[in-house]
């Protein structure tokens, strides 16, 4: 698409359509996205919110067991129609294309249509994820089971998988735009599937689809050293939390420590504890609840929070702070799964896109409609609306968007020029993956590939998790001496990074997932 003269947005649309086909476990037109766009000629950053919305018929007890009157277990709420929110990917991409696209909309669907009709090569990762059987709906719901388990056996790496139904869907959207998805024959198929789901029939209506609007929102930005770090504001917590982590660490001058040294990992984990404490209490869809965004990223507030960090002792579970504008609320512990895609793109004119896109859990709700999988994003809400007499900000409400940790990010130089385009999949750990790479590049002077290669460390205000089979395992005993509870496990990030420097463009892609650095 770029070779044809397409813009960064054009290329992003083509990539998302292909990913709907070849990476169906992670993202697609049945899901939602957050997109940052840098208009280089106008020197302007825009963000597009394609997050899913709850049904207009939903209330705070959407995920209650009608027999017991108590919230369902997360795994029991995922599969079927109740967890599906109105997909926002197509609406947001079309909205962005109207402003920043160059090539005709229909042209951008041609590669995906061809691949769907002729078949694509099944990846080793797709085979592996099917074999893990972590989404119970894959084997229990007929359409998705037939597609991935023809003749009762899973598709294998190297197999050719054809999806003619999806080719037809793409053909209609290419010709008629997103309207056919939200108001036409595809919308009817979506609602029919949700309402008559074998498990957990849902409440979404044709009117909910027809009423959906992608939203262009102001970016949230904060200073780190001489740089300006920008990301998505609410309903994402990603941009706010990344800025908080960095802002709280600024006074510690991480450039004095070696990359991923004991001291750096400790400080990073403590700052992350503080950010997640605030995130879990305050961040939700600000169209429905008051979120103290300015207070959360205020430099004075971040300095006060940073004072809680000790150089050689884990603080234990951090308590949410009291930023300016905060209202009394209680903490939320909604679960976010790691099945997501990220794309970073820059075109010849310097226009750039950072987009994180997801159907939430691996294979989403497991409801397959005309060759694509519907999301289960509504389980990103708190399944319980209150605790100890206080409301949870991220509770279910009609037409509300669930909180997300997706953190597409751009970093700008002191003169306002673009320096970094990055993001990652990884559920709520996305916040850590992105913040760690910004530190890697800005503080430790790593190139994007070396930064992507860094062993992962996360702390979501519970335990300090370090990546298995990495050099961080040698730090486990020392961290435990500092009071950390340490867990060693796979941390499956999927970073895609572009750096713009004095000599040109440098890319880095995460070795833990599929991904390539490509340039014209």
Active-site residues, by number, are 340
What span, in angstroms and rounded, lies between the C-alpha atoms of 153 and 170?
28
> How many Å is the Cα radius of gyration of the chain?
22
Reading the block at residue 35, the tokens are 């997109």
Reading the block at residue 382, the tokens are 């708190």
Instruction: Decide: helix, strand or coil at residue 169.
Output: helix
Provide CB contacts within 8 A for 112, sequence distance 6+.
Answer: 14, 17, 18, 20, 21, 166, 170
What span, in angstroms and rounded, lies between the C-alpha atoms of 264 and 457?
11
What span, in angstroms and rounded, lies between the C-alpha atoms of 180 and 153?
34
Query: What are the φ and ψ backbone dihedral angles of 9, each rounded to 5 degrees?
Result: -65, -45
What does DSSP assign to residue 104? -
What span, in angstroms and rounded, lies between the C-alpha atoms of 112 and 58?
34
Residues 493/342, Cβ–Cβ less than 8 Å: no
What does DSSP assign to residue 382? B
Classify residue 118 as exposed, middle or buried by CB count within 10 Å of its CB (0-12, 13-18, 19+): exposed
- Helical (H) or strand (E) element with 121: strand 120-121
What span, in angstroms and rounded, lies between the C-alpha atoms of 237 and 428?
9
Reading the block at residue 470, the tokens are 């990495």
Between β-strands 368-369 and 372-373, what pairing exists: parallel, antiparallel or unpaired? antiparallel
What does DSSP assign to residue 23? -
The dihedral through the CA atoms of 123, 367, 382, 91 has a sign that is positive
Residues 267/254, Cβ–Cβ less than 8 Å: yes
- Helical (H) or strand (E) element with 500: strand 496-501
Which residue carries 């018929």 as its tokens? Answer: 57
Reading the block at residue 22, the tokens are 């070849």
DSSP state letters, 342-376: EEEEE-TTS-EEEEEEEEESTTTTS-EETTEEPP-
Reading the block at residue 260, the tokens are 């991923």
Instruction: Decide: helix, strand or coil at residue 19.
Output: helix
């Amino acid at each position: 698409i770029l070779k044809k003269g397409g813009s960064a947005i054009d290329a992003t649309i083509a990539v998302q359509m292909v990913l709907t086909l070849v990476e169906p476990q992670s993202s697609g037109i049945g899901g939602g996205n957050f997109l940052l766009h840098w208009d280089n000629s106008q020197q302007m950053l825009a963000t597009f919110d394609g997050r899913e919305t709850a049904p207009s018929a939903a209330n705070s007890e959407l995920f209650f067991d009608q027999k017991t009157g108590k919230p369902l277990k997360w795994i029991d709420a995922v599969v079927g129609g109740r967890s599906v929110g109105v997909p926002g990917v197509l609406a947001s991409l079309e909205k962005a294309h109207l402003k920043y696209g160059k090539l005709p909309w229909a042209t951008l669907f041609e590669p995906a249509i061809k691949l769907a009709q002729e078949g694509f090569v099944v990846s080793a990762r797709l085979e592996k994820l099917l074999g893990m059987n972590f989404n119970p709906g894959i084997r229990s719901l007929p359409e998705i089971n037939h597609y991935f388990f023809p003749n009762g056996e899973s598709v294998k790496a190297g197999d050719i998988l054809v999806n003619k139904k999806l080719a037809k869907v793409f053909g209609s959207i290419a010709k008629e735009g997103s309207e056919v998805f939200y108001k036409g024959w595809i919308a009817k198929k979506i609602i029919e599937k949700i309402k008559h789901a074998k498990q957990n029939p849902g409440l979404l209506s044709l009117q909910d689809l027809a009423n959906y609007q992608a939203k262009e929102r102001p970016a949230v930005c904060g200073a780190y050293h001489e740089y300006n770090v920008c990301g998505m504001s609410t309903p994402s917590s990603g941009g706010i939390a990344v800025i908080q982590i960095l802002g709280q660490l600024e006074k510690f001058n991480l450039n004095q420590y070696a990359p991923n040294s004991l001291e750096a990992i400790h400080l990073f984990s403590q700052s992350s504890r503080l950010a997640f404490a605030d995130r879990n209490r305050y961040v939700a869809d600000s169209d429905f609840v008051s979120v103290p965004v300015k207070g959360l990223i205020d430099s004075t507030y971040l300095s006060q929070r940073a004072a809680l960090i000790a150089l050689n002792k884990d603080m234990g579970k951090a308590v949410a702070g009291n930023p300016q504008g905060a209202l009394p609320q209680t903490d939320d512990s909604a679960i976010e799964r790691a099945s997501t895609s990220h794309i970073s793109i820059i075109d010849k004119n310097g226009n750039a896109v950072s987009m994180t896109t997801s159907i939430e859990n691996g294979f989403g709700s497991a409801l397959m409609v005309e060759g694509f999988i519907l999301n289960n994003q509504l389980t990103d809400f708190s399944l319980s609306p209150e605790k100890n007499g206080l409301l949870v900000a991220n509770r279910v409400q009609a037409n509300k968007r669930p909180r997300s940790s997706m953190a597409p990010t751009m970093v700008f130089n002191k003169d306002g020029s673009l320096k970094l385009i990055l993001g990652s999949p990884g559920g709520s750990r996305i916040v850590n993956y992105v913040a760690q790479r910004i530190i890697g590049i800005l503080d430790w002077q790593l190139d994007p590939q070396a930064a992507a290669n860094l062993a992962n460390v996360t702390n979501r205000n519970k335990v300090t998790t370090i990546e298995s089979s990495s050099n961080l395992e040698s730090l486990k005993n020392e961290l435990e001496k500092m009071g950390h509870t340490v867990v060693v496990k796979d941390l499956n990030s999927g970073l895609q990074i572009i750096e713009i420097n004095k000599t040109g463009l440098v890319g880095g892609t995460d070795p833990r997932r599929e991904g390539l650095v490509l340039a014209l």
